Every structure is written in structure tokens, then in C-alpha cells.
Amino acid sequence: MNFKRFGAPVALVAAAALALTGCAANEAGGGATDEAATGLSGTLVGGGASSQQAAQEAWVASFQTANPDVTIEYDPAGSGAGRDTFIAGGSNFAGSDRAFKDEEIAGDFASCVADTGIIEIPAYISPIAIIFNLEGVDSLNLDAATVAGIFSGKITTWNDPAIASANPDATLPATPITPVHRADDSGTTENFTDYLHAAAPEAWVDEADGVWPLEGGEAAQGTSGVVDTVTGGTGTIGYADASRAGDLGTVSIKVGDEYVEYSAEAAAAIVDASPFAEGRTDGDLAIELDRTSSEAGVYPIVLVSYLIGCSEYQDTEAGALVKAYFSSIISEDGQAISAEAAGTAPISSDLFDKASAAVESIK
């Protein structure tokens, strides 16, 4: 084969390669200017819950702006993958939609110093809204049993007496109800079914599970899929992170004797009203949500997602980075940033004090 024949394509490839060797306009080459600012540098790898991704992006952006020599990679591979990778020592921290179980904590964590335990901080609190698409109706009052009836397929039309009696002012059509649930295994589903099972055990007999336990209904992938499906159908109802509710109608949930609309404050309130899990180490702030709380102004359907790290790292540099990163997340600024970017509920000052103590203990 002579060169002439190969010449043209090779030259093209070479030209393409040359064109590609540039740098992204927003990425500084090495950060020579702000070096003295913090003294922190290196790469921190974390992974886990995809629910946290929008918030993590905002946190990472603000942390990297303050510490230009630091790169943080958050891999939204999913809570299960995140926890497994963290146990195996493949990442420095994890994001997870549930805390580790007792028996999992008893095992080894490869990147932590043996027998030092882990810290878990409920830094991502997001209300889960029940969204629906029904012409002429913007909001509904429902209690847990009715919601369970709708999602299990026992209540099939919008003008069912159970719905109508709680909403005397709304004009409800006889449209059939299409309940939409998540097709994927998710923390959102786990928290939603946990609420239904705790608040209406007769109407919802299945235990909390990340996989939708019933057959029937419409299944859609991810929060985006549920929102799109609810928006695209008529008479549809689903559940999704409140930040994505948009213009869809939302449900106020009966707590005690009142109907509570979702809000950041109400979501933070249920976390404060709930006890910590027992038998955990000091830095382990796993919460057992009290879904049946009847305190005024709490919204019981929330997703609490955790930041998980070692309390003592084998690699002290990684420990310092995790400590700095976590404390920037739980700070008032950090929580405000994620509230703006991802619609989360900022943690209360009470919880902040405990979380702050936990982060300070990281070595």
C-alpha cells in the first residue's frame, strides 16, 4: 500500500486530532493564580445517589471555585452502586438514599482505618410531591388511605367519594385515574411506600421497598420520566421530587387534622421531629423518619439522602478534603446553594450543630 492512498485519511485524522487538542474555556490550566487561597489540592472521588446529583453539582461547583486546585468527581451511579464502591474502597465518600444497615456497618470499609466507624449526614432533604394532571384542578386534599387507594388501583375515578368528600370545592370529573410510579429501583419509591405503609397500613400492606411492589399502573423511568408521563397524560397522578413539580397540580397531605402542602420548611420539620436511629456511633446521624407524626406543619413524604464518609481515613489527605467538602455542604451557604439549584430543604440549625460536630470529627 503506497502512502498516497493512506495519506488523505491519515492527514484528516491528524488535523482532527490537532483541532481537538485545546482546553475547555472554563477550565483553568493548573490554577496557578489562586494557589495560596486554601492550600487544598487533589482529587476527591465520590459516588452514589442520582437524586443528589443536581445538588452535588452545585456543591462541587462552589467548592471548586473556592479551591481551584481541587477536583471533585461525583458519579451519580445510584445509591446501591455508591455504597458498594465505598465499602470496597473505590471512592472517598458516598451519597445514599438510605443509611447503612447495622449489619453492613459491622463489616469493613476499605478506605477507613479499621474499626473506626463511619459518619452519615442527612444533608440532602427533599420533599416528595404527589403531582397530578387533571383539567381544572390545581390542588387536592388527600389523606394517606386515599393516596394508597389511588396508587394500588382501588380508587379508579377522580370523582370517587373518597376524593370528593375531602375536596368539596373542587369540580371532579369522572375521568379514570392513571397512577404513575417509578419503573426503576429508587429511594424516592422507597420513601413514598414507607410513608404509605406507615400512615395507612390497612390500605397499603406492602413494606417499604425501592421497587414498586404492585403490578398494574403506569411505570416510568426516573423522576424525569414520571414528570413527563404525568404531564403528557390526562387524569394521571404520580410522585416526584418537589423541585420538579412545575405547573402540575399537587396534593396536600392530611397530617393530624390539617392538610399540609409540601414546602421546604415542612420537610425540614419532619426531619427535626424524627428520632435518630439507635445504637449508632456519634457521627452516624441516621434518622428514623416518623411518618405518622401529627405535629403541626410537618410534611411527612420526604426523601432524606445521606453523605457517607469515614470517621478516620487511611489516606489523611483525602480525609482533609472530605472534611472541608462536607463542612462546606452543611454550611448555611452550602444548603442555600442546593436549595436554589435542586430545590432541597435546608437543614435546621439543630441538625446543623450535630452534623457539624460529626464533620469536625473526621480525621
Partner 1 sequence: MTPSTASSVREPRVKAKQRPGDRIFAGSTLTAGTLILAMLAAVAAFLVIQSIPAVTTDPGEIPILAGETFWSYVAPLVFGTLWSAALALLMAIPVSIGIALFISHYAPRRLAQGLGYVIDLLAAVPSVVFGLWGANVLAPAVQPFYSWLTETMGWFPLFAPPASGTGRTILTASIVLAVMVLPIITALSREVFLQTPVLHEEAALALGATKWEMIRTAVLPFGRPGIVSASMLGLGRALGETMAVAMVLSASGGINFALLTSSNPGTIAANIALSFPEAFGTNVNVLIATGLLLFAITLVVNSIARWIIARRKEFSGAN
Partner 2 sequence: MSQTLTAAPVANAYSSGRLGRPVPWIVLAASLVLAAVVFGLLQASDGAKDFNIVGTILVGMIIYGVAIYVISLLVEGGRRAKDRLVTALVSAAFALALLPLISLLFTVVTNGTGRFDLEFFTFSMRNIVGEGGGGIHAIIGTVLMTLTAAVISVPIGLLTSIYLVEYGRGPLSRAITFFVDVMTGIPSIVAGLFAYAVFALIFGPGVRLGIAGAISLAVLMIPVVVRSSEDMLKLVPNELREAAFALGVPKWLTILKVVLPTSIAGITTGVMLAIARVIGETAPLLVAAGFTNNLNYNLFEGRMQSLPVFVYNSYISQGTDAQAYLDRAWAGALTLILIVMLLNLLARVVARIFAPKAGR
- Which residues here bind partner 2, judged by CB under 8 A? 1, 5, 8-9, 12, 16, 20-21, 23-27, 43, 45, 47, 50, 53-54, 57-58, 60-62, 64-65, 71, 73-77, 85, 88-91, 110, 222-224, 243-244, 246, 337, 340-343
Q: Would you say 40 and 68 are in contact if contact means Cβ atoms under 8 Å apart? A: no
> Least Å distance between CB 194 and partner 2?
23
- Residue choice 229, 311, 335, 344 for contact with partner 1 (CB under 8 A): 229
Question: 13 is written with which cell numbers?
Answer: 485524522
- Residue choice 210, 249, 300, 309 for contact with partner 1 (CB under 8 A): 210
Look at residue 342 and give its three-state secondary structure: helix
Spatial distance between the Cα atoms of 301 and 195, rounded to a whole number of angstroms: 6
Spatial distance between the Cα atoms of 172 and 135, rounded to a whole number of angstroms: 9
Look at residue 185 and give its three-state secondary structure: coil
42 belongs to the binding site for partner 1 (CB under 8 A): no
Cell 410513608 -> residue:
195
Angle at 172 between CA 169 and CA 173, to 5 degrees: 155
Spatial distance between the Cα atoms of 347 and 339, rounded to a whole number of angstroms: 10
The window from 21-29, 185-193, 312-320, 324-332 that contacts partner 1 (CB under 8 A) reads 185-193
Look at residue 204 and give its three-state secondary structure: coil
Q: Which listed option, partner 2, partner 1, none, makes contact with residue 232 (CB within 5 to 8 Å by class)?
A: partner 1
80 belongs to the binding site for partner 1 (CB under 8 A): yes
Q: Which listed option, partner 1, partner 2, none, makes contact with residue 235 (CB within 5 to 8 Å by class)?
A: partner 1
Q: Which listed option, partner 1, partner 2, none, makes contact with residue 79 (CB within 5 to 8 Å by class)?
A: partner 1
Spatial distance between the Cα atoms of 359 and 278, rounded to a whole number of angstroms: 19
Give 53 or 361: the residue with its C-beta nearer to partner 2.
Answer: 53
DSSP state of 276: B
User: Would you tell me which residues interact with partner 1 (CB under 8 A)?
Assistant: 50, 77-81, 83-84, 97, 176, 178, 180-181, 183-187, 209-221, 225, 228-229, 232-236
